[in-house]
């Protein structure tokens, strides 16, 4: 099976030795996204909802670069620094996904890259 790198300038570039996404057959693995503004490379400032929205916009852009949409998601993993933000991230996620919703895991973590408060990755099947 061949692997194809997926990249777009409409989402932040990788900040380490990884790709924004990899397509393997009909499966696309999207790397975790934090709320970096693709135009500036800086973390979005503001309230948590704005940060979460930027994360999902970044994921959406990478999915589009893979000729897919977030409707193709089968698995989502959310990493939260503060589990009290769980209801907010749920509300934002509901604006980006439709039923049938993908399987999901939410994990509380001590810290994330660049001081982010939320990171999300997902797997798409096209």
CA distance 95 to 67: 20
pLDDT at 101: 97
Structure tokens at 102: 């993908």
pLDDT at 94: 97
Structure tokens at 82: 């503060």
Whole-structure pTM value: 0.96
Exposed, middle or buried: residue 92 (CB in 10 Å: 0-12, 13-18, 19+)? buried
Helix (H) or strand (E) holding 74: strand 73-80
pLDDT in tens, the chain (126 residues): 799 999 999 999 988 899 999 999 999 999 999 999 999 999 998 899 999 999 999 999 999 999 999 999 999 999 999 999 999 999 999 999 999 999 999 999 999 999 999 999 999 999
Q: Which domain holds residue 41?
A: 3-125
Q: How many CB atoms lie within 10 A of CB 112?
A: 16
Count: domains in the chain:
1
- CATH code for position 53: 3.30.1330.40
């Amino acid at each position: 099976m061949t692997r194809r790198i997926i990249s777009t300038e409409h989402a932040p570039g990788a900040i380490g030795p990884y790709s924004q996404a990899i397509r393997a057959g009909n499966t696309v693995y999207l790397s975790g996204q934090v709320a970096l503004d693709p135009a500036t490379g800086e973390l979005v400032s503001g309230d948590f909802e704005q940060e979460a929205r930027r994360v999902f916009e970044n994921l959406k852009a990478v999915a589009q670069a893979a000729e897919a949409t977030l409707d193709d998601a089968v698995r989502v993993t959310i990493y939260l620094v503060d589990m009290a933000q769980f209801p907010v991230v749920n509300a934002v996620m509901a604006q980006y996904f439709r039923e049938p919703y993908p399987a999901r895991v939410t994990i509380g973590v001590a810290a994330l890259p660049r001081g982010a408060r939320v990171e999300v990755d997902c797997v798409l099947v096209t």
